[in-house]
Structures are given as structure tokens and as C-alpha cells.
Chain A
Amino acid sequence: MKRAFVYLLICIISVSLTGCGEIYMDKHEINEIDLIRAVGLDNIGDNNIRMILPLLETQSTGGRGSSESSSPGQSRIVKEDGRTIFEAEVKVHSYLMKDLSWHHVQFVIIGEEAAKEDIVKYFDFITRDHEPRLSMLPLIAENDSAENIIDQINTSNTVIAKKLKTITDGTGARSVSSKLELHDLIKMLDNKYASSYIPSIRLVKRIERQGEDKDKKDVELNGYAIIKGRRLIGYINDDTARGLNFIKNKAEDGVIILKDKNGNQISMEMLGAHTDIIPKIKDNKLEVDIKVEAGFAIAEYEGYKDIFDKKTLDEIVKAENKIVKQNIDSVVNYAKKNKADFMGIGDSVYHKYPVEWDDYYKKNWEDNFANIKINIDVKSKVSRTFNLREVTRGKENKK
């Protein structure tokens, strides 16, 4: 008996030693919390912010056999203003029936105004609080406010977070954007000698809808917002954005279109690329080599002649190299023009020449960075032609 009491005592003491003072109070039944899956943050002037929470309309499914369908339903959008994000959050708490849970936040959309003002300010609550995860994906609303984007894409049959997930999962297909998790962004923002990039989204009209959703729009993930210091300075899109993906080793898939000598178009499918950034010091002068190796396959050819002999393939490779080089060139030029090293070249220099970096280069790196010579060397190849059979009706033309 005495023994049992001692064991019981040990159990009770160890519970109270965990540091979770309100261990019993900390429980929330799963149906008593509102899962936030995406958050929009806007600057509405006068130093006030607006938090937009698309919450799921939890409708009971009624169990088996009930006729009610369990469609996800239109999100109930809660908007709240406050001087800080936390103030807005507390306000929401005061009138929402359920507790807000930030554990499941997958996306945070920052409005353009907010990004122009000071982006770091908006991430502090998210990174300081223990609930939000650092694996969420930050997005910038390009030329738009987060509120407008969330309002515009809130259709009755798709959950906003699912829509955003679809486009972030599909970034590899065109390689004009990429997934960037919050912790990676924080690392970039922490770096005093570099700028950062954040994937940007914008509204487009893609799907024709009927009824109440007629005016609703879709989102597209294209390009990056470039953050210098704490502020947004501009956007890079399409080819320029792909150039950044090449540099960041994030180019996976994509299409480039070439022309053969007869003017027929050839679609080249990218099969992946690998880039090395190699800084070197030559005669006390810093130079950076960007070496890209890329593989392509022929996905489509408009002409009817079988033209893929060695000579043509060499020409195709040359054209490929040119296009990839153009992509990278444009992003390098953008970076140099804006004196924003979001490509991480400073990091490469630091890793290769830590002593020289500390002594000399790190000082005013972004200002000096524009003067550094950057050599771009692209080596691409045609890995596959898929020339399994002759072009359809190609024989006739031979005669």
C-alpha cells in the first residue's frame, strides 16, 4: 500500500514537472478548434494591419446514411483589423465560437502594401508563437492585396488552401516559380549581405464559372517578389524567374521552343538542370562562374522531315544554350541593376573564400556586387529525341 502510494506520488510529481503548468487546461477537443489553413495579411494604412482568415465552414456530415453531402463548402472569411497581428488574432478569439489553431497553417499571403512597408514585421508573430509551423509557404500578392485575392478565389466548391496547394505543387512544371518554406525565407532574411525572393501570386481568369461564382477568379503562381532588406522592390516573372530557378537549382521541368532552319517549331522538354556557382579570385579580382548543365528531350516537332542528325542536334544544343543563358543573364542583370543579391552569390563567395570575404568583400557587398564579372557557361544536351518511328507521312516527302 505504502509502495503504491509512492508510485502514485512519483507519477503526480512528474506530471507537474513537465513545465506545462496548465496541462489539464491545455486540452481542446478537436471539434472545438477552427483549423486555419491559410492566412492573409495586409497593410491598411495608419500603421494598422488586417488579418484575413478563410475558415472552413464545418458542416456536420451526419454520419453514414444521411443524405447531406460532405462537400467542403465555401470558406467563411473572417477579417479583423488591429495594430498588430496578435491584437487582431485576440479580437477574433473574442467573438469566434471555437479556438483558433495555427498548427495547420500552410500558406501565408502577404499583400503588396504590407511587403512594401516592412515584410519582416509580418513574420514575427508567425515565427515567435509556438503554434504556426515554419514549413508554411509564404506568398506575395503581386500588385494586389491579400484580402482581394482571398475574396476573389473563394468559390463554393474548392477550399482556398487546396487551390493554393494545387498551384504550389505544380511549380515544377514550368519552373517559373518554386516552393519556398518559411524557414528558408527567414534564413535569407537573416542574411545581412543578401536579398531574398518570395514566390508571388496574382489573379487570373482561367475557369469559366456559372451562378454565384461567375465573377470569381483563379490564382497563378508566376515569378518571385524580390525583397531587399526588409522591403519589396519588384518582381521577376517568366523567363527571368526561370533564370533564378536555374541558379538556385530549382529548375525541374519546363518547355523551351526552338525553330529549325525551315522555321518549324521544336518543343524541348527540360529534363532537369544542375548549376554550380564557382567564385574565383583572379589577379585580386573576384569573378564568378555560373556553370549550368541541362538536359533536354524533344517533345514535339512541327515539320515532317526527319531532321535529327548530328548536325541538327548540335544546332539545337547551341540554341538551347543560348536560351538558358538568356534566362540567367536577365536575372543577373536584374540583380545587378537593383543591387540585390538574392541569388546567393555572396554566400558562395563566403564559403569559398571566408577570409577574403571577412576582410574585404562583405563590406558593402550588395553595392559592389554589380561590378563583379559573372561568367555564364551553359552546357546542355539533347538526351532523347524519341525518334522511334518516322514522322507521319514523312516517306511521301522523301520521294
Chain B
Amino acid sequence: MFFKKNHKLEENKEVSKIVTENTITTQKIKDILGKSSDVTFRRMNINGNKNLSFSSVHINGMVDSLKASEFILQPILTNEVFKKSMTTEEIVKLIEEGSIYYASQTTRKDLNEVVKDVIDGSIAIIFDKENIAFTFDVKGFEHRSVSEPTSENVRKGGKDCFVEVLRVNTATIRRRIKTSSLVFEEKLVGEQSLTKIAIIYIDGITNVEIVDNVKKKIDEIHIDDLISIGKLSEYITEKKYSLFPMIDYTERPDKFCADINEGRVGIIVDGLPLGVIVPAELAKFIQAPEDYSQDPIFSSLIRILRYILVILTVVLPGLYVAITTFHSEMIPTELAISIAQSKEGVPFPVFLEVIIMLIAFEVLVEAGLHLPRTIGQAVSIVGALVVGEAAVNAKLISPAVVIVIAAAAIASYTIPNQDLSNAIRVWRFIFVIFSSLAGLFGLYMGVILLLFILARMESFGIPYLVPYAGSKSKEISDSFLRMPNYFNEKRPSFLKTYNKKRQG
């Protein structure tokens, strides 16, 4: 037959079996899809006339069979209009003119496209003589219904969330942004998985350079499958070893839409209940969508607190090591005495104590992630008893260290974005090592190193540290504080949007 096996894929990512002669016949489709048991072929005659025969192809489980039989097959077989026709040619013409009154109908003359449609959940009506096929989108498969977001808590926002089906997600977005300029551009990624990816932006607002950049990056992806967010993020970001997240993701459509409106580009992957937002700068990860649904003054205070906690969580263990081993004069006398007393009998230096506790904490976190829910409680009790109580009583660790690490650990969970929180957890270790070598001086060296790395980073052409650096004063204030809405007249300038005003 006319298909090659194990060939190298071409640019436009076709179905894995390429047919050199592109005419549509039932036999050819059978050759391509016939091996699978879930593909159903049927041959039918209109009006019982053998001259007016056609065949239908669909995949079981992917289509809603009730829809297929009632709205597609029944009209063809029983409709009055078709009874008058004598040739298939006439019937094809009638169908093209819309005698099967079904909304999403496509005329296909390319074999590959027919196969693609069928795999995607359409039913195809094939007329062998005319070499033409009609595909009807009658997708109907089981999927999770739209429920409340699970990993992001919502207090005052919309309680819907993204699901695994791309079409449902695009519809959710369309419901929120009804402008005609909203664009969904779809691409197929993954040589085997053929995953649909939608690139979402608003024409006339979003900078074309960012959109083109995203499209280019996605076109360059040549992998077997795209079934995790990590793969997408690795392939579309420039810096792969930065630890810090370069893309933002959310399962909340309201947050997603707010970012699209701001002039960013959204990406939705079929099969992932997440919306990816690019470009993302550091400040974005420290903001939570809830900030904008509460009183500006209250939200500002919370945001300031959050910034303090971000600094605290990354610096505190290192600071403790530096102060207790190099700069005991910085501690108030009474506190110094009580720390010294609590450390009496502990054999390890502070540095080792802190490292042990940090690792113990990471172990607990990691264990908690993989635990079956039924035994989670047992492990948390063991964790609390072993780390908190027993380790202190056994003089392995001084209570002051437990407090410091616990404070840093809790503070790290106030960061809304988990990826940023992970990055900070790693840097915590680095700072502890720096501090143990050269005290506060070492800590400052570490901080400078971190700032240096952050300052060099860019996300889709946008500096990672905007708006802290190189931005207008108004934008800086909206990062540390949450300014009242009337204050934010313009879209962020660093996104270089075409329509700069967002209100008034």
C-alpha cells in the first residue's frame, strides 16, 4: 500500500501514516484505521438504493452515538430531500448545501484530514465515487465536570475551574471575554499524542512579538507526547536551569482571563486542567488573585506581609546560622543566654543542626505528597513527635533551631505559587552554606548572587525583575501594595501592549 512506516515526521505533523495518493475511499481509511478494534465502519444505502451507498466511520467511545444516529444518519437515510435524488453526486451536493442540518459539518477532500477528524471524535460520511467525505463533530466522551478549584482556594472569586477538555476550557474563557478580538489559535504538538494546544490572546492588545515568540517556541517542540505542564514549560522557556518559574499557571479561569486582558498570552493544553500564562515576572508569583477582591488597604498590608515572609523564609535559616556562629553580639543578651542554654549538650554545630532540620522538613513534605490519604495521619504524628519532641529531648537539635526552621517553613507556604516556593526552598540551603562559611558577609554574598541571577533572567523578552527594576513608579507601587483599581489606569508598560489604557 501507499504508506511508510517509521518515517521521520514532516513539518506539519500529519497522522503517522502518510498516504501518497490523497483520494478518499473507504478502503484507504480502513487501511489506516482498520487495525484498531474501537473503529467502527458501516456501509449504508440511501432509500435502499444500492447505487446510493455510502459508508460511515467513527471511533467508539469518542462520539455520542445518539447524536450520530439521530442527527446525522437518520436524516440521510430518511429525509424526503434525499429520496428524490438518483445519484450520489446529487446527494453530495445536497449535503454540501446543508440538508443535514447539523451545525459543525466539514467537507473534506483530503484523506489525512478525514482520519484526523475521526480520531478527534467526528463521524465521517464517505462517498467513494466522489472521493469526498463529510465529517460531523459529534464528540461525546466522559469528562470531569467543572468543579471548584482544588489547589487554589477561592474565597470571593468564580468557583469554576479548568477541566481536561480543551473545548470546555475555551468556552469558559469565551464566556468571560466576549470581545470579538479574542483569538484562539490552535496547534498540534506531540508526534504520537497529537495534543491540541490553544494559544489565546486579544488581538489589538497583546504584543505580537510575544505571541509570535510563543508560536515559534511551540512549533519547535518535537516530542512524543505533551501530557504534563513541565514539558511545555521546559520547551518554551529560555532558561532551563534557573530554578525559578518562568511561566505562570492557574486552574482558575478568572485569574487566567484577567491576565489575558492585561496583555499576556495564555496557553491551554488539551488534557491538562490548567491555563498557562506567559510572560511571567517574579512579582506576579507573589500576587494572589484574591488580593483584587478584597479591600485595597487590607490587601496591601497582606502583600507587604507576604514580601516580608518571602524574604524571611529564604534568609532566616542562614541568618540564624550566621548570627549564632559569628555574630553572637547581635543577639539581645537574654536571648543569647537562652539560646546558649538550649544548645547546651547538643553535639552538632549550628550549621549541621539547621541542615538536618531543613532536610527533615523536606522529607516530611515529600512523604506527605506521596502518602496514601489513609496513613497520612500516622506519618504526620511520627513527624511531629520525632522532629519536634524526640529530637529535642534527645539533644540532637536545640529547640531554637526547631522554631527557626518551622517559622521559615510556614512562611514559605504563604507564597501563592508553589514553583516559586520550591525555588526558594533550594536557595534556603545555599544561604545556610554561605552563612556557615563567612557569617553575615557570606549571607550577603549569597543574596547578591541570587539578585544577580534573577536580574539576568528574562521571560519572553521581559525582564524577570520588573516592575522592581526599570519600571515606572506607579507600577512598582502595585507590586508591593495593592493599589485601588482607579489607580491602575494603564496596562503594565513592560508588556508593551498596543492598547495602553485599561480604563477611563
Contacts and interface: CB of A to CB of B under 8 A. Distances in A.
- The binding surface of chain A is classed by DSSP as loop
Interface in A2-26: 7, 11, 14-15, 18, 20, 23-24, 26
B254 to A, nearest CB: 42
A101 B344 contact: no
Given A24-B437, A63-B395, A37 B333 contact: yes
Nearest to A165: B333
B354 to A, nearest CB: 12
Interface in B329-345: 329, 331, 333, 336-337, 339-345
Nearest to A64: B392
Nearest to A7: B449
A96 to B, nearest CB: 15
Contacts of A56: 337
Contacts of A37: 333
B15 to A, nearest CB: 43
A58 B341 contact: yes
B326 interface: yes
Given A11-B445, A101-B328, A103-B329, A29 B399 contact: no
A195 B445 CA distance: 48
B336 A104 contact: yes
Contacts of B326: 26-28
A30 interface: yes
A60 interface: yes
Contact of B349 (A14, A29, A62, A65): A29
A216 to B, nearest CB: 22
B500 to A, nearest CB: 38
B328 A30 contact: yes
B325 A30 contact: yes
Interface residues of A, number: 35
Contacts of B449: 7, 11
Contact of B329 (A11, A59, A101): A101
A76 to B, nearest CB: 14
Contact of B393 (A66, A101, A133): A66
A31 interface: yes
A63 B341 contact: no
B439 interface: yes
A7 to B, nearest CB: 8
Nearest to A101: B328
Contacts of A26: 326, 439
Nearest to A14: B445
A292 B229 CA distance: 78
A353 B342 CA distance: 59
Interface string B303-334: 00000000000000000000011101101010
B494 interface: no
A82 to B, nearest CB: 24
B393 A63 contact: yes
Given A15-B438, A63-B392, A64-B399, A31 B340 contact: yes
B342 A63 contact: yes
Nearest to B329: A103
A24 to B, nearest CB: 7
A161 B346 CA distance: 27
Contacts of A18: 441
Nearest to A33: B328
B392 A31 contact: no
Contacts of A30: 324-325, 328, 331, 336, 339-340, 343, 350
A131 interface: yes
A101 B439 CA distance: 17
Contact of B441 (A23, A33, A61): A23
Contacts of A31: 339-341, 343-344, 346
Chain B interface residue bracket vs A: 20 to 34
A133 B328 CA distance: 13
A11 B405 CA distance: 27
Contacts of A131: 329
A62 B445 CA distance: 36
Given A28-B325, A104-B329, A60 B345 contact: yes
A221 interface: no
Interface in B147-168: none
Nearest to B446: A11
A65 B324 contact: no
A131 B328 CA distance: 11
Contacts of B340: 30-31, 33, 35, 58
A371 B343 CA distance: 63
A70 B441 contact: no
Interface in A252-298: none
Nearest to B326: A27
Contacts of B439: 23, 26-27
A24 B339 CA distance: 22
Nearest to B395: A63
A121 to B, nearest CB: 25
B389 interface: yes
Contacts of B331: 30
B389 A64 contact: yes
A59 B341 CA distance: 7
Contact of A106 (B333, B337, B343): B333
A63 B343 contact: no
Interface in A340-392: none
A60 B341 contact: yes
Contacts of A62: 345, 393
B341 A70 contact: yes
A37 B350 CA distance: 23
Nearest to A24: B437
B409 to A, nearest CB: 19
Find the residue from B341, B346, B442 having the highest chain A CB count within 10 A.
B341
B138 to A, nearest CB: 57
Interface of B: 324-326, 328-329, 331, 333, 336-337, 339-346, 349-350, 389, 392-393, 395, 398-399, 437-439, 441-442, 445, 449
Given A15-B445, A61-B344, 19 more contacts: A11-B445, A11-B449, A15-B438, A23-B438, A27-B325, A27-B439, A30-B324, A30-B325, A30-B328, A30-B331, A31-B344, A33-B340, A58-B337, A59-B341, A62-B393, A63-B342, A63-B399, A64-B389, A65-B393
7 contacts: A23-B441, A27-B326, A27-B439, A30-B328, A31-B340, A31-B341, A31-B343
For the complex of A and B, the 4 pairs showing the least CB-CB separation, nearest first, are A103-B329, A60-B344, A31-B343, A63-B392
